[in-house]
Amino acid sequence: YAGGWLSPGRLQPAKIVNALEGHDGKHEGFRRAHAKGLCVVGHFDGNGQGLALSKASLFRRATTPVIGRFSLAGGVPNAGDGRVTFHSLALKFDLPQGEQWRMALNHVPVFPVATPQAFLDFQLATTPDPATGKPDPAKVQAYMAQHPETKAFADYMAKAPLPSSFANANYNSVDAFRFTNDQGQTRVVRWIFTPEAPFEELDKATLADRPRDFLFDEVAGRLAQGPLVWHLSVILPNDGDPTDDATKPWPDDRQRVEVGTLTIDRAVTEDDGPCRDVNFDPTILPAGVSPSDDPLLAARSSVYAVGYTRRTGEPAAASALATDQAFPAPAANQPAASQPAAKESAQ
Ligand code: HEM
């Protein structure tokens, strides 16, 4: 039953992973989405303001160690960076008492699909035809006709400026989550990390001519000069703002509460480093945070788990990034993940 043999028509996570492999090829040992990435380590300093919204210990006036991974969407590990796609950042916060908070964030505040079924249908409709190497325009058109929200997203991506760097991009939760504070009050929120590095736009006209790894090389170069900083703000919806539909943005004027600062200190190698064997499942949450009614969240959890199980059962692949070789591997008896335990000052 758990394997889905008795209900072949139901949407199973393996079907979505199969579709991702069909779309971008099967690259053993790599993530089935966001295959190209760079691992980083850093820390988060809470300012205490978030505790009014959630009792999560991340929000105390304390420092929490973080590992992270910059990535681009897509399942091809050595794809060129000259594409119109998400700049993404995944994070794993190691909190006191063994709690963790894992996030996988995109620079765009909305997602192209609202449901797992639409995600599957979108992958299938845009899978390249082996005869032409391109998606079948009739299938894409038929999908778009049924999914105006995906069409709206594609139009938005075509027009919206792309950040010139991983360092000057926002990173959004996209999905909504439920926050609960010490008094038991619950609110649904989204969140955004905004960079201190000033925004600059990538010239889309020259994308195709850029060196393969130019975005990853650029951020590695910045990190070699010093840490990069983002401010985390929790976004509070107005009554009626959708909490179960990641295709719908919340208007820019919604109240924001700044709750702390993320500092990315340095890049570390992905081969044998702390990121390779992590599943950045966004439903791994500390007390005070839980999933909302957004149907993507449960699907993400189960699909990431299937992808993770497949890739970690395959021979480990070396990082496809040339720049990765420049970073020190963690010492044999001291994995890079072993940062100091979260230190608390006052609440
Ligand atoms: C139904 C919707 C979605 C599906 C099926 C899906 C699928 C996947 C899969 C299979 C992976 C690779 C996991 C692994 O092997 O560790 C992945 C990674 C990722 N996803 Fe999604 N995803 C979905 C929605 C989203 C959304 C809404 C966001 C942004 C908020 C997002 C951001 C990311 C990021 C940043 C990673 C890379 C994590 C890393 O660096 O390991 N995904 N996704």
Residue of 11, 17, 88 to mutate, ligand 1, most atoms within 8 A of C-beta: 88
Ligand 1 centroid distance, CA of 104 (Å): 7
Residues forming a β-bridge with 193: 171, 232
Q: Would you say the CB of residue 294 lies under 6 angstroms from ligand 1?
A: no
Nearest-angstrom CA–CA distance, 171 and 106: 5
pLDDT of the residue at 336:
39
Q: Which of 23, 34, 107, 147 is catalytic?
A: 34
**Is the model's pTM score more than 0.80?**
yes
Q: What is the helix (H) or strand (E) element at residue 24, kind and residue range?
A: helix 13-24
Instruction: Give, using CA atoms, the residue closest to atom 32 of ligand 1.
Output: 104
ipTM: 0.94
pLDDT of the residue at 324:
67
Instruction: Give, using CA atoms, the residue closest to atom 13 of ligand 1.
Output: 304
Residue 137: how many other CB atoms lie within 10 Å? 10
Nearest-angstrom CA–CA distance, 271 and 264: 19
Sequential pLDDT tens for the chain (347 residues): 555 566 667 789 999 999 999 999 999 999 999 999 999 999 999 999 999 999 999 999 999 999 999 999 999 999 999 999 999 999 999 999 999 999 999 999 999 999 999 999 999 999 999 999 999 999 999 999 999 999 999 999 999 999 999 999 999 999 999 999 999 999 999 999 999 999 999 999 999 999 999 999 999 999 999 999 999 999 999 999 999 999 999 999 999 999 999 999 999 877 777 898 999 999 999 999 999 999 999 999 999 999 999 999 998 877 878 766 666 554 444 443 433 334 433 33
User: Two tokens at 142?
Assistant: 């038929």
Nearest-angstrom CA–CA distance, 42 and 29: 25
CB contact at 8 A, 115 and 197:
no
φ, ψ (nearest 5 deg) of residue 16: -70, -40
Residues 330, 106, 281, CA angle at the centre, nearest 5°? 60
Instruction: Give, using CA atoms, the residue closest to atom 20 of ligand 1.
Output: 104
Which of ligand 1's atoms lies nearest the C-alpha of 246?
Answer: 27
CB contact at 8 A, 255 and 235:
yes
Written as one letter, the residue type at 96 is P
Q: Would you say the CB of residue 307 lies under 6 angstroms from ligand 1?
A: yes
For the question of residue 34 being annotated catalytic, the response is yes
Residue 304 among known ligand-binding residues:
yes
Ligand 1 centroid distance, CA of 188 (Å): 21
Superfamily of domain 13-329: Catalase core domain (2.40.180.10)
